[in-house]
Amino acid sequence: MKRLRPFLILAMVVLWLLLNGTVSIGQVVLGLVVSIVIVVVFRDFLPDEPRMRRPATAVALFFRVLYDIVQSNLGVARVILGRRTRNVRSAFVRIPLELRNPHGLAVLAGIVTSTPGTIWAGLAPDGVLTLHVLDVDDEQALIRAIKERYERPLLEIFK
Amino acid sequence: MTAWLHHVTALPIVVPLLSAAVLLFFSEPRRLPRALIALASTLIQAAAAGTLLWMTSHPASGAAPDGILVYSIGSWPAPYGIVLVADRLAAVMLALTAAIALPVVVYSFAQWDRLGVYYHPLFQLLLMGVNGAFLTGDLFNLFVFFEILLAASYGLLMHGGGTARVTSSLHYIAVNLAASLIFLIGVAVIYGAAGTLNLADLAAHWDEASPQDRRLLDGGLAVLAVAFLIKGGIWPLNFWLPTAYSAAAAPVVAVFSILTKVGVYSIVRVGFMVDPSKPVLYGGSLLFAAAIATMAVGSLGALAARHPPRLIAFSVIVSAGTVLAALALGSASTLAPALFYLVISAPATAAAFLVAGMAARMQMHSVTAVLDRDGAEATYTAFDVGEPARSSASMDDDEVGFIIPAGVAFLGLAFLSCGLLVAGLPPLAGFLAKVSLIVAALGSLGVVQHPAHVWVLVVALLGASLAALLAFLRIGVRLFWTARETTRPRVRMLEAVPVAFLVLVGIGLTVMAGPVMTYLTAAARALHQPDAYIHAVLATSKPVQP
Amino acid sequence: MELIFAIAIGLLTGSGVWLLLRPRTFQVILGLSLLSYAVNLFIFGVGHLAVGKPPIIRADGATNASLYADPVPEALVLTAIVIGFATTALFLVVLLASRGLTGTDHVDGREHDA
Amino acid sequence: MKALFDFAVMFAQVCFLLASVGATIRLLRGPRAEDRVLALDAMYINGMLILLTLGIRSGTTFYFEISLLIALFGFVGSTALAKFLMRGEVIEP
Amino acid sequence: MTSGDLPGWALVAAALLLLASGALTLIAAIGMLRLPTFFQRMHAPSMSMTLGAGCALIASMIVSSALAHRPVLHELAITVLLFVTAPISATMLMQAAIRRRERAAASQPTGTSAGSR
Amino acid sequence: MLLWLIVLFPFVGGVCTAFLRPNARNAEAWLAGIVALATLCAVALLYPQVANGVIVRSSLEWLPQAGVRIALRMDGFAWMFAGLVTSIGALVVLYARYYMSPADPVPRFFSFLLAFMGSMLGIVLSGNLIQLVVFWEMTSLTSFVLIGYWYHRAESRRGAIVALSVTGTGGLCLLAGVLLLGHIVGSYELDAVLAAADRIHAHPWYPAALVLLLLGAFTKSAQVPFQFWLPQAMAAPTPVSAYLHSAAMVKAGVFLLARLWPALAGTDLWFGIVCSVGMGSLVLGACAALFQRDIKGVLAYSTVSHLGLMTLLLGMDSPLALVAAIFHMLNHATFKASLFMAAGIVDHETGTRDLARLGGLARAMPITATLALVAAAAMAGVPLLNGFLSKEMFFAETIFAGETPALRIGLPALATLAGVFSVAYSTRFFHRVFLGPPARDLPREPHEPTHWMLAPSLILVVICLLVGIMPAQTIGPVLSLATHAILGSRQPAYSLSAWPGFHAPLAMSAIALVGGFTLYAFLLSRRVLARLALRAVGAARRHWFDRLTLRLVRTFDRLQRLVISRRLQIQLLIIVIACSVVGYLTLNNSIARFSAPSITVLELSFALLWIVGGACALGTALQAKFHRLAALIMFGGAGLVTFLTFAWFSAPDLALTQISVEVVTMVLMLLGLRWLPKRIDTMDPGRRTTRARARRLRDAIVATLAGAGMALLSYTLLVHPGAPSPLSEFFLAQALPASGGRNVVNVTLVDFRGFDTLGEITVVAIVALTVYKVLRRFRPPPESLPGTARDAAQTMISPATLRRLVLPAAGVISLYVLLRGHNAPGGGFVGGLILATAFIVQYLVTGTLWVESRLRIRPQYWMAVGLLAAASTGCGAWLGSRAFLTNMSAHIDLPLVGDVHLSSTLLFDVGVYLVVIGATTLILVSLAHQSLRGRRAPEAEPVAGIRVRA
Ligand code: NA
Ligand code: NA
């Protein structure tokens, strides 16, 4: 075993326990065994271990995302049920990102995908993120919102 | 002692499976261990088949009361779990399979197994499927074994590659997939109406079924019969057969000669089990007509065939039709001769395929005649050395053994013997089978429902013999009497000995016709009185362990 | 419920048979797959339709057959699905090989002139 | 209360099914392949939701594993289809 | 052990969540039909995948927890799985659509439309 | 014992000869000669017994169930024939020793000659009719090989084929006749048959049996209209002709007629058929013999004619005629064999048998000429030679046989005419070969052969003379013995003397002699006429059989293509129709009546579900030709609905399996789709033809009917009333207590019906191996290879972290599903598929090279280990003396973890898991590797699918 992967193994044990729906010692042991086996077998396929800080920021981000999911759902529902689906101003929006941490980018992708109305359309090697946005009122405002609401906390968490 | 002997019943299934799995650990260049494993596995199967043959023919020994051996897989009692049942018929079929498989395995060591990868594992798994189909006493398990043998046959059919093989296997697979679906429909209908999958259990409750259920059961069986008939190569469900069989590599198609027999066996097994008085409830006259048409079409195809494998493939069709026609006649006395014919024709066609494989190579060397452009190409690619063994340096011809000087004479005689056996001509056993079949048919004139069927059958039997005679004559002369003596074709011991073995099996059956027929008559009688089978299967229920 | 179920099987069968009789390999493989769906549902239906009664023994250990769907057809269908999957995969590969060798995707390995 | 709950389960189920019908229409109409892929993806999600309602209605947890797997396999299918559309083949060297 | 034995709060909460989930999913389906371009349509199903699924999952959690008299958090596993996998497939599909449009534009002069629809 | 030796000697000798060194003419000839002589001695030793009227018998059971046994039976007639066969055989062996060239592979020759002798003796000594048929066909076979001895010559091959075709067919007719006869009599024993004449004659099958038996006899004896094979058989080496085609094989037919004469003769049918065929052969054979150019052709047609004579005699239903027939059998054998030997000597010494080229050989080969002269004279019926005597008896019989005026005049007249021809061709034969101006330009310089080669002919000629001069003293006892064996009490009084006195037959002989010389002289003077006749006969004969065969084969081929279609669609259509018809015929009465459906919300939702499913299925059907991807996606939709249906109706395990299989199948098909040819929906003309439309309409109807039928059947079974099956009750009751699992389906799969599952994973493994096997030889179609590298992936599509989370997550889920299977939905199969798909996702999002540079997967080992695990779980039960696959379980108390229920079923399920992972990966990766290969240069190596970086 070249590298111990405590985060990954922890995540996997948690997943194991979630799946089994118990936290008995037997299951914890079994989960550990399973996770270690997987880590050993697939060692070259696994993500690098993240280095995370600022759990409070993370929690705040989590709830912000939850809120945004609800909001954007309602927004999209409005667009769909509105009378003017033909005139929706959809566009590709390019956002130059400072975030380079792969874990941070992964979380950002999850967030963007989870909030309807925006879709991750690709990330160029120079860090420019392309999003497809269902209804753009103000492109700059959107870019700002993404950078402010998501990128900055992520930059803080994954340094 | 007998308790241990009991497990022999499972060996014909378990041994090939284990050996196939072990074979996967040996890479292609390691030929010797692979060959040894394959050979050992086949030998064990042969020994097991022999033991079962002995046990079923000696009921007094106590190993198999009434000549029936029941083995409950997983120790689950009969109607619930899956049982293997080795009765006389199953034992004969197992022995037949082993008698064909053993020489074919040896034959394939002569470079045939190097035409592609995984030959031996697939071969063993094919044997597993065939043996399982003969042994199982469960309808759905029969489906599973059918699938095993079919899946393995797909792989073997394409062994060696080439356009002819691939396109014909496309047809073969498509047809067999359809047949498998039909099989499943039949099984489902039967389960829906009878609530059981065990053959003996099904038969035991056959008469208790309500009229509506009975109709459903009849329907289920009829649908099942269509699936069996497809696999048995009965016209008009057999269009795939000639192309596939004439395209496959020689040892592969040799062992395929047992495959159509599996279809026929299933018809016999299931049909007689549920209703021995009307064994071919699958439609009496309709089935008879199909069987006769099969013989006619097969003979026609044999007469028109231009290449030996195609001729033999049509002979396989004719022999399937022959057996089925005898069954569909609806007379109790024709069953044993039909079985006798089945037992004879399988090794004969197998040997003929092997000879054709050797002769095709002979043709390659001689300049005078290349009968089969496609086949020749196949053979050429077959021995194309760019195959798995290319890396291994030992590809010399000499490695395989002595060269028989009178190679052509040997091949010619072997081909002649096969032709005689298949055509049912004197002096070999095929003739005896046909004679006893006709004698039995004439003898049942007063018994059968349609006396005209007897006459049709007699004419068809003799006509098929005539067609086979003429067809084998034509092809044989083209094959063996056009090669120049000067080319000195080389016949390898590794190929010749298996062929000789199979021919000797045919001759042995000729000499031992009386005892063999006695055994088969007992098998036929058991089929006509399935009570013993039913009782044996349902009585083995042991108390379930808690 | 039974009627809809039966019609469903009929629809799958009809579509499957239609495709089975088409001349292109891809049509045939889809036809066979649809047919195997139909047959799987058919076997499944033999055990009678039961909603909310999976054949998994309850915590109270009751084994009354009326509490559970028939496990036998389920087990049979499971085996049938797996075998069907495997053979479909094989057919796919063979049709590709045939296409590669013959240059056409006709089931007979050559185009027939109509 | 029970009536409301039952109605809600039924309502949700019918909604999910209607949503599937909608997706099917998109699936059949296209017009382009990506639309169909999207429709199938939506059908998978709807299928998962239907399963959840089945589970809620029967009060068993056995549907959970299936929901989990449909999420997983729906992803695999959509990804493969998308990859095929994008590159013309699913697995590249 | 049926839903009839559930406490009232659970019934109400689950019912409301299910109603919301059903409505959202239906709206998403309508969106898939109504929205005029593919890129727009892509946004619709993500509704059912996020809030629609979320509501249903929470409802399911509530019900099974109430039935088992202990927290049953199974469904979180599904949520996690969706969070990890959804971006991958969505991005790929998006990219595919973009590429196909580019390719179609490039081959426009020759006339034929793409073979597979 | 001696009887057995008579039959066995030749066969054993034949086998021994076959193994001798080639080209050792002496050794083979000695061996063969000794065998023949020994057999002859054995026959001779039996004479005392036979002469006393004893029928020597011995038998061996062969297939008693069908009344088949080897019954050897020697009476006087059989003795006479056995003597004939063995003595001429011995002479032919001697002759052949000198005839065959040193270059010929003689072991084969002598071996088959002896085998033929054995077969012939088998016929002669048959006491069982089936046995007779066996040896009968064996003579056909050995004669086939002997005729084709010089098989590099086309005419030899042709002659052999024709001979076997005709005689083999006849043999089958004979078999049919014998079977009918045996059924009439109730036994195949010759004695029983001979004793049952009245019963046979009265039986309604008599005509059929008779005709079939006669067909057998006539083909063998080359009677009109089956005479044509005999002249073609002259391509055989001359010793063969001398033996088979004069003395032995062709005599089998008349032998059979004589043998069964007591049982079959005596009816109008017999008289009509046998006499007319005999007379036809007699006259036509004699006439044709006159126009042959080949010496052996003359002799062959003369044989036809003489056999016709015997047939005619046998047909006459008079004991005296029978005596004459048997007498002529002997006589003909001697003079004809001698003539063949002479012809062979001529051929051997001059290198040709062409009458047009030969001439004047009497000067170069006086002894041969003398011998040939005597033999030819015997053939012509010159007094004081044996041929004369039997011919006299024949002429006498023709006079007395006729009952109607036409016959009274016609028979003798035709007989005399045949006699005229006979004299003419005998004269021609001798004249053209030995007299006249000496031939020039012969291939070889003619001279007298070695004395040993002349000896056999000499012996035969001496016999001709002896019999001709003092018949009563020489042949008398034997003839009496032979005829008595057949006729018994009906044996007539007859006298044998060299000079029968002046009476009508003698007049006929005289007319024949004079007429024959005159005819030949006339033909000589009109050479043009003779040439014309020669040409006519030659043209008629040339290769007509070949042409017929060819035409027949072509017809068969056309017919065969008609009844065995090579089109898959036709075959599948027939299968569908067969299934539907069979289903309809058996099930149409049991279809359940519809009850009005109750419309509930639940029903409605299920209906909605299947609106989706049905639309997807129909969409798949309609789109599969031109929009494959669309069809595939719709197919996915149908699969999804099927999955939901399983879940809906309480089958979580099924649903799991269905969805995983469904997705893997879709990925597979996507992998394959790339290699299919582009198809663009242009309205190609083929689609619009009426025929194509009719075909589509037909298929649509069939599909609709099949669908409707299936729906009806399903409905019937769905509403089929019935208690739960005992199986399910048992499984439900036993799952937890006996197998320790709550998930009854899983317990069924790994325990109750674990054998099925073992088979199922075997199928999966086989398929994977096959896929690999096929694909490593796969040649991608050239046009489907990418010409240039496509647009490279410039953009990073999705974050790597997410991609890399899939595998561990799926791994955990996979193991969870595996371990939970016994108690909850899941199990080895689904677990394996999850891991395999997760693996494929890695390939999919990163590419082959990336994955394989990081991991050596050896799927075949996974499969092997899995199969071994599953199978050895089964075998493990043997250690506990339990049946294969018996569940063995134990509870183990582990620290921390607590009580663990360990069961062999878990190991079994792990086996399933491993096999599924290995197989699925192998299949998917083999397919994926095709792209890798497609990009390489065509000549680059046959890529081994997964042979990844060692
Ligand atoms: Na989004
Ligand atoms: Na399971």
- pLDDT tens digit string along F871-902? 988 888 888 788 888 888 777 777 766 667 77
Q: Closest-CA residue in chain F for B463?
A: F172
Q: Closest-CA residue in chain C for B162?
A: C101
Cα–Cα distance for residue pair F162/B504, rounded to 1 Å: 29
What is the nearest CA distance from F761 to chain B, expressed in angstroms?
A: 9
Q: Above 90 in pLDDT, residue C35?
A: yes
Looking at per-residue confidence, does E70 or B44 come out higher?
B44
End-to-end Cα distance, chain B: 27
Q: Closest-CA residue in chain F for D7?
A: F601
Looking at per-residue confidence, does F602 or F932 come out higher?
F602
Mention every residue, 6+ apart, whose C-beta is less than 8 A from residue F30.
Answer: none
**Residue F936 C-beta-side C-alpha neighbours within 13 Å:** 12
Residue whose C-alpha is closest to residue A4's, from A43, A59, A33, A34: A43
Helix, strand, coil in percent for chain B, rounding step 5: 75, 5, 20
Which partners does chain B have (≥3 C-beta pairs < 8 Å)? C, F
- E chain contacts of residue A109, beta-carbon cutoff 8 Å: 87, 91
Which is it for strands A118-123 and A128-133: parallel, antiparallel or unpaired? antiparallel
Cα–Cα distance for residue pair F211/F177, rounded to 1 Å: 8
Which partners does chain D have (≥3 C-beta pairs < 8 Å)? C, E, F
Q: Above 80 in pLDDT, residue B140?
A: yes
Cα–Cα distance for residue pair F895/F892, rounded to 1 Å: 10
pLDDT at F948: 32
pLDDT at F543: 66
Q: For residue F821, how far is its CA from the centre of ligand 2 (angstroms)?
A: 5
Whether the Cβ atoms of residue E42 and residue E94 lie closer than 8 Å to each other: yes
**Touch of F by E (3+ CB pairs closer than 8 Å):** yes
**Least confident span in F114-128, F172-186, F926-940:** F926-940
pLDDT at F846: 83
Q: Above 70 in pLDDT, residue F789?
A: no
End-to-end Cα distance, chain F: 73
What is the nearest CA distance from A1 to chain E, expressed in angstroms?
A: 26
Q: For residue C99, how far is its CA from the centre of ligand 1 (angstroms)?
A: 41
pLDDT at F897: 66
Q: Above 60 in pLDDT, residue B402?
A: no
Cα–Cα distance for residue pair B422/B469, rounded to 1 Å: 9
* Nearest listed ligand to the Cα of residue A69: 1
Q: Above 70 in pLDDT, residue F42?
A: yes
Cα–Cα distance for residue pair D74/F659, rounded to 1 Å: 9
Cα–Cα distance for residue pair F793/B310, rounded to 1 Å: 52
Local structure of residue B233 (DSSP, 8 states):
T
What is the nearest CA distance from B451 to chain C, expressed in angstroms?
A: 40
Residue F689's pLDDT band, with cuts at 50, 70 and 90, is confident
Q: For residue C85, how far is its CA from the centre of ligand 2 (angstroms)?
A: 16
What is the nearest CA distance from C92 to chain F, expressed in angstroms?
A: 7
Exposed e or buried b per residue across F619-655, where buried means at least 16 C-beta atoms within 10 angstroms of its C-beta: bbbbbbbbbbbbbbbbbbbbbbbbbbbbbbbbbbbbb
pLDDT tens, residue by residue, B233-249: 998 999 989 999 989 99
Q: For residue A30, how far is its CA from the centre of ligand 2 (angstroms)?
A: 20
Residue F217's pLDDT band, with cuts at 50, 70 and 90, is very high
- D chain contacts of residue F663, beta-carbon cutoff 8 Å: 73-74, 76-77
Which partners does chain A have (≥3 C-beta pairs < 8 Å)? E, F
Instruction: Output the CA torsion sign for F372, F375, F379, F383.
Output: positive
Which partners does chain F have (≥3 C-beta pairs < 8 Å)? A, B, C, D, E
Local structure of residue B397 (DSSP, 8 states):
G
pLDDT at A83: 77
- B chain contacts of residue F707, beta-carbon cutoff 8 Å: none
pLDDT at C113: 62
Can you count the helices (H) and strands (E) in chain F? 40, 4
Average pLDDT over residues B437-460: 90
Q: For residue E34, how far is its CA from the centre of ligand 1 (angstroms)?
A: 18
pLDDT tens, residue by residue, F848-872: 888 888 877 788 899 999 999 999 8
Whether the Cβ atoms of residue F592 and residue B219 lie closer than 8 Å to each other: no
Cα–Cα distance for residue pair B297/B467, rounded to 1 Å: 11
Looking at per-residue confidence, does E104 or F709 come out higher?
F709
pLDDT tens, residue by residue, C87-105: 999 999 999 888 888 888 8
pLDDT at B373: 32
**Touch of D by F (3+ CB pairs closer than 8 Å):** yes
Helix, strand, coil in percent for chain A, rounding step 5: 60, 15, 25
* Residue F379 burial by Cβ neighbours in a 10 Å radius (0-12, 13-18, 19+): buried
Average pLDDT over residues F347-370: 86
Which partners does chain E have (≥3 C-beta pairs < 8 Å)? A, D, F
Beta bridge mates, F743: C56
Q: For residue F649, how far is its CA from the centre of ligand 2 (angstroms)?
A: 16
Q: Above 90 in pLDDT, residue A86?
A: no
pLDDT at E112: 42
Q: Above 60 in pLDDT, residue F417?
A: yes
Average pLDDT over residues B96-115: 91
Whether the Cβ atoms of residue D27 and residue F616 lie closer than 8 Å to each other: yes
Local structure of residue B116 (DSSP, 8 states):
S
pLDDT at A89: 87
Cα–Cα distances in Å, from E59 out to D15, D55, E15, E72, F722? 16, 11, 7, 11, 38
Residue F935's pLDDT band, with cuts at 50, 70 and 90, is low
Residue F494's pLDDT band, with cuts at 50, 70 and 90, is confident
pLDDT above 70 coverage of chain E, percent: 88
Here the ipTM equals: 0.93
Residue F175's pLDDT band, with cuts at 50, 70 and 90, is very high
Q: Above 80 in pLDDT, residue F334?
A: yes
What is the nearest CA distance from E60 to chain D, expressed in angstroms?
A: 6
Q: Above 70 in pLDDT, residue F161?
A: yes
- The overall average pLDDT reported for chain E is 84
Q: Closest-CA residue in chain E for D76?
A: E89
Instruction: Establish if D59 touches chain F: CB-CB under 8 angstroms.
Output: no
Average pLDDT over residues F704-719: 91
Cα–Cα distance for residue pair B429/B496, rounded to 1 Å: 21
- A chain contacts of residue F851, beta-carbon cutoff 8 Å: 45
Q: Above 50 in pLDDT, residue B400?
A: no
Q: Which of E80, E88, E112 is facing F798, going by the closest CB pair?
A: E88
Average pLDDT over residues E39-53: 91
**Touch of B by D (3+ CB pairs closer than 8 Å):** no
Q: Above 50 in pLDDT, residue F656?
A: yes
pLDDT at F597: 64
- The overall average pLDDT reported for chain F is 86
- Of the spans B36-40, B370-374, F684-688, which averages the highest pLDDT? B36-40
Whether the Cβ atoms of residue C100 and residue F781 lie closer than 8 Å to each other: yes
Q: Above 90 in pLDDT, residue B340?
A: yes
Residue F942's pLDDT band, with cuts at 50, 70 and 90, is very low
pLDDT at F534: 64
Count contacts between A and F (CB, < 8 Å): 92
Cα–Cα distance for residue pair F945/F929, rounded to 1 Å: 6
Cross-chain Cβ contact A45/F855 below 8 Å: yes
Q: What is the pTM of this model?
A: 0.92
Average pLDDT over residues F694-722: 90
Q: Which of E6, E48, E117 is facing D46, going by the closest CB pair?
A: E48
Q: Above 60 in pLDDT, residue B393?
A: no
- A chain contacts of residue F819, beta-carbon cutoff 8 Å: 30
Cross-chain Cβ contact D28/F615 below 8 Å: yes
> In A82-151, which residue ranges form alpha helices assigned H by DSSP?
102-114, 139-145
Q: For residue E57, how far is its CA from the centre of ligand 2 (angstroms)?
A: 24
The length of chain E, given as a count of residues: 117
Q: Closest-CA residue in chain C for F663?
A: C85
Q: For residue B135, how far is its CA from the centre of ligand 1 (angstroms)?
A: 59
Can you count the helices (H) and strands (E) in chain D? 3, 0
Instruction: Establish if A8 touches chain F: CB-CB under 8 angstroms.
Output: yes
Q: Which of E6, E21, E45 is facing D38, going by the closest CB pair?
A: E45
The letter for the amino acid at F931 is S
pLDDT at D45: 92
Q: Does the bond joining F225 to the residue before it have cis omega, within 30 degrees of 0? A: yes
pLDDT tens, residue by residue, D4-19: 999 999 999 999 999 9
pLDDT tens, residue by residue, F435-455: 888 877 788 888 888 888 899
Residue whose C-alpha is closest to residue B182's, from C43, F393, C49: C43
Residue F692's pLDDT band, with cuts at 50, 70 and 90, is confident
- A chain contacts of residue E98, beta-carbon cutoff 8 Å: 121-122
What is the nearest CA distance from D54 to chain C, expressed in angstroms?
A: 8
pLDDT above 70 coverage of chain F, percent: 91
pLDDT tens, residue by residue, B525-539: 988 888 888 988 888
Cross-chain Cβ contact D58/C51 below 8 Å: yes
Mention every residue, 6+ apart, whose C-beta is less than 8 A from residue B32.
Answer: none
**Least confident span in B366-370, E55-59, F782-786:** B366-370
Q: What angle do CA F439, F440, F446 make, to 5 degrees?
A: 70
Q: For residue F755, how far is its CA from the centre of ligand 2 (angstroms)?
A: 15
Q: Above 80 in pLDDT, residue F268?
A: yes
The letter for the amino acid at B92 is V
pLDDT tens, residue by residue, B116-135: 889 999 999 999 999 999 99
Whether the Cβ atoms of residue E55 and residue E97 lie closer than 8 Å to each other: no
Mention every residue, 6+ apart, whose C-beta is less than 8 A from residue B33.
Answer: B26
Q: Please give the order of strands across the beta sheet that includes A118-123.
A: A91-96, A128-133, A118-123
What is the nearest CA distance from F929 to chain B, expressed in angstroms?
A: 17
Pair of tokens at residue C19: 């495709």
Q: Closest-CA residue in chain A for F835?
A: A38
